[in-house]
Amino acid sequence: MFKKVDVITMGLDKVSNSPVVFLRIEHTNIGLPIWIGACEATYLALAINEQKTPRPLTHDLLLNILEKEGYFLKKIEIINMENDIYYSNIFLEKEENEIIIDSRPSDALILAIKSKIPIYVKDKLVIENGIDISFIPIDEHKNEDEENKRREFKEFLENF
Amino acid sequence: MFKKVDVITMGLDKVSNSPVVFLRIEHTNIGLPIWIGACEATYLALAINEQKTPRPLTHDLLLNILEKEGYFLKKIEIINMENDIYYSNIFLEKEENEIIIDSRPSDALILAIKSKIPIYVKDKLVIENGIDISFIPIDEHKNEDEENKRREFKEFLENF
């Protein structure tokens, strides 16, 4: 079974000095932390903040190809963790045929956010690796105006 | 008309502190310099050095989807420059249908190198922006052993 993710937030793990993404499980204060690379974090932050870029980034290129060829993104699933590496699947559909593609979570998340498709996490991962993320002021973010968002985003990028 | 590229080398522009790619035009000492981002340069260097990664990077993900769905990459073309931004096209084929996709040169080059497909540059760009790159010791690189290649690659990454 899978749990749905309703909020994605990002931070910087000060111990490992690595970007970390928290996937909050719907109707809970539990978040699954996933450590990702600096470049991947930059692209994920751009996606979360819906920042437009003058030219297509790599994930836009991928989505442009899929759109041009009549594929739809349905959902992504974070399905496993082995040796501290998370595995995920991207579900595509074309003419009622389902295609499942193995992916790093960072790529799957960026595509999911850009395409506004649902994100699921396997129960086992939530139970084993989920943490209480009520210390992250997620709801406050919803009331921020655009300028604050942009400022925070700029600060986030400057932290790298 | 287009010219074919036979060698791709990378460097760091010390004035702008930005990675730069040189596309050498076949049978000449002329190279087209294209400035790219730091993340893009990292992925391009990995592709040039045929470095394997434990998990698929974003361009591998794209190629995995195309392969699974029966698409072939045919070639890429660097077609235009406007306001210091280069534009390129990626040519795909499926069942004799040609698909042309707009792309940044960095993405197109990474896909071309990974897929070992030809790279072309529009004549006009070579004439207007090509420079003499005979100062770059390209031929020597061909005789280097693997260890030297790895060392140089490591140094390159450390320069960022």
Is the Cβ–Cβ distance between A117 and A75 less than 8 Å?
yes
Whether residue A20 is predicted with pLDDT greater than 90 in this model: the reply is: yes
What backbone phi and psi angles, to 5 degrees, belong to B107?
Answer: -65, -45
Query: Cα(B131)–Cα(B61) distance, rounded to whole angstroms?
Result: 34
Mean pLDDT of A98-125: 98
Pairing of strands A97-103, A85-94: antiparallel
How far is the alpha carbon of A29 from chain B, nearest alpha carbon, in Å? 30
> Count of CB atoms within 10 A of residue A36's CB?
22
How far is the alpha carbon of B27 from chain A, nearest alpha carbon, in Å? 31
Specify the pLDDT at position A136: 82
Residue B121, Cβ density class (10 Å: 0-12 exposed, 13-18 middle, ≥19 buried):
buried
Q: Which of B55, B68, B104 sits opposite A104 (nearest CB)?
A: B55
Q: What is this structure's pTM?
A: 0.87
Q: Which of B54, B57, B101 sits opposite A65 (nearest CB)?
A: B101
Check residue B97 and report its DSSP letter. Answer: E
- Complex ipTM: 0.87
Mean pLDDT of B133-148: 65
List the 78-117 stretch of B: residues with Cβ below 8 A of A.
85, 90, 92, 94, 99, 101-104, 107
Q: Which residues of B touch A57 (CB under 8 A)?
A: 104
pLDDT, tens digit, 9 for 90 and up, residues A36-91:
999 999 999 999 999 999 999 999 999 999 999 999 999 999 999 999 999 999 99
| Residues 6 or more apart in contact with residue A140 via CB below 8 angstroms | none
Most B CBs within 10 Å, among A57, A60, A61, to test the B interface: A61
